[in-house]
Amino acid sequence: MEKPYVLGIDIGGQTAKSGVVNARGEVLAQTILVSNNHQDARDFVEALAQTLRKLISDAGLNGQIRGIGVGAPNGNYYTGEIKDAPNLSWAHEKNIPFAKMLSEAMDGLPVALTNDANAAAVGEMTYGAAKGFKDFIMITLGTGVGSGIVIDGKVVYGHDGFAGELGHTCAVRGGRSCNCGKQGCLEAYCSAIGVARSAQEWLEQHPEEPTLLRLRENITSKDVYEAAKAGDKAAKEIFEFTGTLLGRSFADFVAFSAPEAIVLFGGLARAKEFLYEPIVNAMNENLLSLWRGKVKVLFSSLSESDAAILGASALAWDI
Amino acid sequence: MEKPYVLGIDIGGQTAKSGVVNARGEVLAQTILVSNNHQDARDFVEALAQTLRKLISDAGLNGQIRGIGVGAPNGNYYTGEIKDAPNLSWAHEKNIPFAKMLSEAMDGLPVALTNDANAAAVGEMTYGAAKGFKDFIMITLGTGVGSGIVIDGKVVYGHDGFAGELGHTCAVRGGRSCNCGKQGCLEAYCSAIGVARSAQEWLEQHPEEPTLLRLRENITSKDVYEAAKAGDKAAKEIFEFTGTLLGRSFADFVAFSAPEAIVLFGGLARAKEFLYEPIVNAMNENLLSLWRGKVKVLFSSLSESDAAILGASALAWDI
């Protein structure tokens, strides 16, 4: 096969992970670049292109790369732009024509770009837990809550390329303020940061009750997870609250697109043992009877370090 | 053109409206059959087939009908079945293989079936306010609240054929009980029946305040509309409440599929003058900034008597 490899790049708030991937979905080589210390987009793209050239060359694959797939916060599949991504210093309050810039820096290699959750959905459908599914919803539980919606085998981009912002649907009317400026968003409760906020609230509301969490300063969702694993009642309650809100929202998502499954991915999805039951229970309680007990809730089966790269790379096969 | 006509049938809880439609979307002839006095589905299908044969023959179009499109409550596009439709006496708690039965009764004419809201969406896209739109959401405000979702020019049917039950997403957590058995559904507030319930609640909560509504027994949404037109403050407040709930929900729908427009249809949509502003205001308040002020809220431009028939008939061109 001519040019049998693709590059997958996952751009996050801290790092950009890049990998060379073959058609079987194996990451043959990968590399990491810090993504938050660049003055502007041009700086970052140049540093990234240099990294990619070295990656290709070290792997002995010069001239054999077919294209590049990129997953990035607020990435727009239609325009190839990154639009006002608050977590990227070089893309804050700007529209960056990222796909075009990267393609130029890589001697015209074609570049496809989408947001990180859509990339994860494509990866999951091509290589992971959603293999063979034509209708599913990917929910990424990381620093934020992202989503990639697949209907009839295709990612939903919508009229403007920004469909699938389920982290900013309303979970609690008039609830916590969210980074986006609205109130009560699912992301304000069910992201890693949301779980940490829930822990903080729990401590304030239960000043007398003993919990391992009280020993921590600046509680993170990881602290809550570790406390829950150690049997801490408060930590378990916090996950139950988180899972219940997720399940309620999932019921509404099911009423929209009637998916076969909802697939969870991201750091917080590691707390599967504490989240699964409350999610499934709350979802079924809030579903129309025709769907009750029928919609699968799955956790990504891709290894986390590879998944983001695979997801992004899967885009590049279709360019 | 060979066989240049189709039949469109809209089955409701009281009547089934049938019409002959040409490729320009003109209803050339139509007829009505009572739909709620039949013992079983076979009875109804036979009566319907008789009506259709007469309609075709009276119009002088024997042998010129290409196919039949049917919109029916709980109609499933994939299976051609009507599944447990609570408002149809002959389909209650049963699965009726309606498309197959009607095709057999009509000498093998092909029959396509979907739910009434999806049919309305297809009609709106083919002939109405959504002409030229590839991404929009149709909301039908009738006895219930139905929805038809169009993404990239296609109606979303989902994994099982039942996608688009937005009337049963949660509008008020723990709110009013809904016919479906759940609580707080959009339909429990924003259908014709929901508006009547809101009026009843308003009267109970404001025992002293004067309003035209107090003069009515068994208030209907039509009473509320007429009172609002006469300048009644309470009636206007009830529409403002209804519109606000709709707008909030629409914001979440937009976050899902990023449509170009939301199109409203059905009896209650006639109250456009009282609903439009609260809908648009509440929607924009609850949208991410990237969509604020950009998503159109439209009211169906199809004449109501034709719209349901046209919507159903549009299905038949693609059989």
Contact: B170, A251; criterion CB under 8 Å: yes
User: Is residue B181 within 8 angstroms of chain A, CB to CB?
Assistant: yes
pLDDT for B1 equals: 54
Residue B137 CA to residue B146 CA, distance in Å, equals 10
Higher pLDDT, A12 or A268: A268
- A157 with B260: Cβ contact below 8 A: no
Write down the pLDDT at residue B221.
Answer: 96
Closest residue, chain B, to A178 (C-alpha): B288
Q: Point out the residues of chain B with pLDDT beneath 70.
A: 1, 304-305
Q: Does B78 touch chain A (CB under 8 A)?
A: no
Residues of chain A found within 8 Å of residue B253, distances taken between Cβ atoms: 256
Distance from the Cα of B122 to chain A's closest Cα (Å) equals 17
Categorize the per-residue pLDDT at A304 as very low, low, confident or very high, splitting at 50, 70 and 90: low
User: Chain B contact for A256, CB < 8 A?
Assistant: yes
pLDDT category at A277 given cuts 50, 70, 90 is very high
pLDDT score of A1 more than 80: no
Look up residue A215 and give its two tokens: 């020993």
SS3 percent helix, strand, coil of chain A, rounded to 5, is 40, 20, 40
Contact residues on chain B for A262, CB-CB shorter than 8 A: none
Return the pLDDT at B272. 97
pLDDT in tens, B125-138: 988 899 999 999 99
Cβ-Cβ contacts under 8 Å, A151 against chain B: 151, 156, 158
- Number of A/B CB contacts below 8 angstroms equals 122
Of A162, A170, A253, the CB nearest to B290: A162
Task: Report pLDDT for B25.
Answer: 86
Hey, is the C-beta of B226 within 8 angstroms of any chain A C-beta? no
Q: Please name the member of A159, A166, A170 whose beta carbon is closest to the beta carbon of B248.
A: A170
- Give me the pLDDT at residue A192, please: 95
Mean pLDDT, range A248-268, rounded to an integer: 96
Query: Which pLDDT value is given to residue A305?
Result: 67
| pLDDT tens digits along B20-73 | 999 888 999 999 999 888 889 999 999 999 999 999 999 999 999 999 999 998
The helix-helix angle for B116-127 and B304-316 (nearest 10°) equals: 90
A85-94: average pLDDT: 79
Give the closest of A135, A149, A170 to B252, CB-based. A170
Closest CB to B166 among A154, A255, A259: A255
Residue B86 in contact with partner chain A when CB distance is under 8 A: no
Q: A8 CA to chain B: closest CA distance, Å? A: 26
Of B161, B170, B291, the CB nearest to A248: B170
